[in-house]
Structure 1
Amino acid sequence: MTEAETRSAVVEREIPHPAEKIWRALTQPHLMEEWLMKNDFQPKVGHRFNLRGEWGGVLDCEVLTIEPNRTLAYTWNFAHEDAAYALKSVVTFTLTPTGTGTRLRVEQAGFRPEQKQAFGGARAGWQQFLANLEETLARID
């Protein structure tokens, strides 16, 4: 399947915090757990880690890109016995400084055309994750 045959869920948000602070929340495991999921993340290209959801699901991930305070990308793969629910995707966080903070762009790429429910779930899910992220950022220095 070519990239053209897959879809990407994109969520963008202007956040009134500097990129360095957001980067910490994106890459420090204890902060990631507050807004995303339990994890064993390390900010090193090639590091394999899991994200463990409250629903009991486990995502298999691998760090693909690290550009401090700018770009973070990792695989976001969910194995399932029913191929319609299995997902192989890549999540990319892009931070762009603005006059009032940082524009955060999250793109989850790799949804197959028949994965309409997963695609819709990702779009809604990332909105909630980013709302949680903003709450976490408001609590930390």
Structure 2
Amino acid sequence: MTSLANPSPTAPDGFGVLTEPDTLEIRRLLPGPVERVWDYLTQSELRRQWLAAGEMALAVGAPFEFVWRNDELTAPSGTRPAGSPEEHRLECRITELDPPKKLAITWGSTGGVTFTLEPIGTKVLLTLVHRRVPDRSTLLSVSAGWHMHLDVLAARMEGDEPEPFWDGIGRLKAVYDGRIPV
């Protein structure tokens, strides 16, 4: 395992780790109960507050579309990088489902994303695994993106205001550039 993380994988600001050269894992300890975190993963109205909108029929094989509007995630949103669209869409499909413990989905040309939830007292450990990321450039974007989106999720669940989204992405991309092997 290539360490990209601070010593505590459950720290709210914990960085991702490469568990294989093309696989990112990020863990976050979030306020529970597990059903609340599950709702933030699966309900469009809650998910759009930290990641992307999109109605999701909870059935293996069910297709759905994520719709990102990252400018709407935080106020202010920060400075969107040149060339980044105001809206982005991605067709996905549910590949594994075990409510409220596990959700796995397809993700473009990568090996997909798995979210696993584990209750720990009054908290919930969210483990996100993004597999078969094709190259370092995409891995930098995926790492910074998931890290920042999970920062927004943690802040929303705690009732806090997250840092401006695009500023966080820029900061995190630079940090991951120094952490991910060339």
Q: Which amino acid aligns with 1:27?
A: T
Q: List aligned pairs for 1:51-62, cutoff 5 A.
A: 51-54=66-69, 55=85, 56-62=87-93
Query: TM-score when scaled to structure 2?
Result: 0.63
Q: Which runs of 5+ in 2 are unaligned?
A: 1-19, 70-84, 160-182
Alpha carbons 2:53, 2:67 under 8 Å: kept: yes
User: Contact 1:91 / 1:106 at 8 angstroms: preserved in 2?
Assistant: yes
User: Which structure has the higher relative contact order (CA within 8 Å, separation 6+)?
Assistant: 1
- Which residue, out of 35, 51, 65, partners 2:50? 35
Q: Distance in 2 between matches of 1:76 and 1:59?
A: 8
Under a length normalisation based on structure 1, what TM-score does the superposition of the two structures give?
Answer: 0.79
Whole-Å separation in 1 of the counterparts to 2:157 and 2:149: 12
Matched, 1:125 2:140: no
Tell me the equivalent position of 1:65: 96
- Sequence identity of aligned pairs in percent? 29
Q: Where in structure 1 are there 5+ consecutive unaligned residues? A: 78-86
Cα displacement (A) at 1:100: 4.1
Cα pair 1:48 1:60 within 8 Å, conserved = yes
Structure 2: how far apart are the matches of 1:17 and 1:24? 11
Residue of structure 2 aligned with 1:26, choices 41, 53, 61: 41
Q: Deviations over 1:98-137 (max 9, x none)?
A: 124111100110112xx11111111111111111212332
Higher strand share: 1
The one-letter amino acid paired with 1:53 is: W
